[in-house]
Amino acid sequence: MADRNTPFVFDCWYAAGFSHEFGRDLFARTILGKPLVFYRTQDGAPVALSDRCVHRSFPLSHSTLDGDTIVCGYHGLRFDPEGACIEVPAQQGPCPAGIGVRSYALREQGPLVWIWMGDGEPDADLPAGEWIGDPQWPASQQYYHLPASYVALHENLLDLTHLSFLHAGTFGTPDFACAPYDLELDEERGNFKLIRTVKPTRLPPVWAEPLKLTGVDAVRQTTSEFAAPSAHLVHGHFYALSDEAFPPDTRIITAHLPTPETATTTHYFIHHGRNFAVEDDTVTDFMQQQLAAAFVEDIEGLTALEKLASAIPQDDQFEISLASDRAGVAMRRWLLKAATA
């Protein structure tokens, strides 16, 4: 199975950052172990280049943005948005042909900018769905620097029995861990879902208050979906038990977007949307505040896991798997196969 030592899957769209991070200032971010530099051209197009001058490896992120080009802060080599070196001040005559740095394809989707890190042709579709950026799905965003493997984060999201324990004080309830669930495992496409239904239940405040279901017997249906190495979608459908014959179409989707920085650190982007109370910003703010407390619990738990794992000799890192791990095990096997293909 895939673990923190498994190579990365490069032929995939990954979240490079939120749109507001990309501007006329150079900024650096390491993605899949590769140092990159980002900026926007004067026309507003986002740019991603390797953050290493080909001359003496000076970081281009510590250099100067001049128009749409970067001028290396060490010896003045100039690179255009495609990464081609177009000027060498110390060179007599024309700039040598065929030298430059690698550029990476970017695509902007609402509040997100995605990056294609592979050598192959980028996929036509982005991995998290077209609802991101749709005004009928108001949303909030968060970023965490997670000092743990993205593989562990995906497994955490596929086995939400931990809600009853790790999140006992936020949005977990005691009945969640033992509730029945169904699996949809597509090992050919690399799509893995676990659908858990809890009924009757009392919803925690993060869901109950916006939906006006406080103190009401309710149904809590949660679908955890591994959609790609870079995207995990958690779909929530919550409604009163009395409405079970005709449940209202009130849905919540949280896009968990892990982008590996290194083998044991992850850029953790979150886009949390809903299809109700579309004009009510107070609902957005309330849910954001409530969810942030729960996501910090995940960060703390996965950080503790990674810290202990790094201290244990590899030969002693044996683990058992439970029936509830079936989706996570299938995902980790697929991830290993995709990474080593």
pLDDT at 2 over 90: yes
Q: What is the mean pLDDT of residues 15-21?
A: 98
Phi and psi torsions of 286, nearest 5°: -65, -50
Give mean pLDDT, residues 53-75: 97
The pLDDT > 90 percentage for the chain reads: 94
Question: CA-CA distances (angstroms) from residue 98 to 37, 95, 133, 326?
Answer: 20, 9, 39, 50
Give the mean model confidence (pLDDT) for residues 326-339. 97
Cβ(26)–Cβ(65) below 8 Å: yes
- Report the percentage of the chain scoring pLDDT > 70: 100
Q: Average pLDDT of 101-116?
A: 98
- Give yes or no for residue 328 having a pLDDT over 90: yes
**Which of 77, 81, 71, 76 has the alpha carbon at shortest distance from 102?**
81
Write phi, then psi, for 114 (nearest 5 degrees): -105, 150
Mean pLDDT along residues 179-196: 96
Residue 316 reports pLDDT greater than 80: no
Q: Please compute, for residue 300, the number of CA atoms within 13 A of its CA located in the half-sphere on the CB side.
A: 8
Beta pairing, strands 251-262 & 112-116: unpaired
230-273 confidence digits (pLDDT tens): 999 999 999 999 999 999 999 999 999 999 999 999 999 999 99
pLDDT confidence bin for 311, thresholds 50/70/90: confident
Average pLDDT value for residue range 291-317: 91
Reply yes or no on whether the pLDDT at 314 is more than 90.
no
Task: Report the pLDDT averaged over residues 27-50.
Answer: 98
Asked if residue 186 has pLDDT above 90, the reply is yes
Q: Answer yes or no: is pLDDT of 93 > 90.
A: no
Q: Is the pLDDT of residue 312 over 90?
A: no
Asked if 10 and 34 touch (Cβ cutoff 8 Å), the reply is no
Instruction: Classify residue 286 as exposed, middle or buried by CB count within 10 Å of its CB (0-12, 13-18, 19+).
Output: middle
Alpha helices (runs of H) in the chain, residue ranges in sequence order = 150-158, 205-211, 281-311, 326-340
Q: What pLDDT sits at residue 33? A: 98
- For residue 41, name the pLDDT band (cuts at 50, 70, 90): very high
Sign of CA dihedral 125, 126, 128, 132: negative
What are the pLDDT digits (tens) for 147-178?
999 999 999 999 999 999 999 999 999 999 99
Domains and CATH numbers, the chain: 13-116 (2.102.10.10), 139-340 (3.90.380.10)
pLDDT, average across residues 105-116: 98
pLDDT on residue 318? 81
Q: For position 49, what pLDDT does the model report?
A: 98
156, 295 contact by CB (below 8 A) = no
pTM of the model: 0.96
Q: Residue 95: what pLDDT?
A: 84
Structure confidence at residue 94 (pLDDT) = 82
Give which of 239, 321, 290 is closest to 1, Cα–Cα.
321
pLDDT band of 123, cuts 50, 70, 90: very high
Instruction: Examine the pLDDT at 81 and tell me if it is beyond 80.
Output: yes
Q: Kindly report the average pLDDT of the chain as a whole number.
A: 96
| One-letter amino acid of 82 | E
What's residue 313's pLDDT? Answer: 81
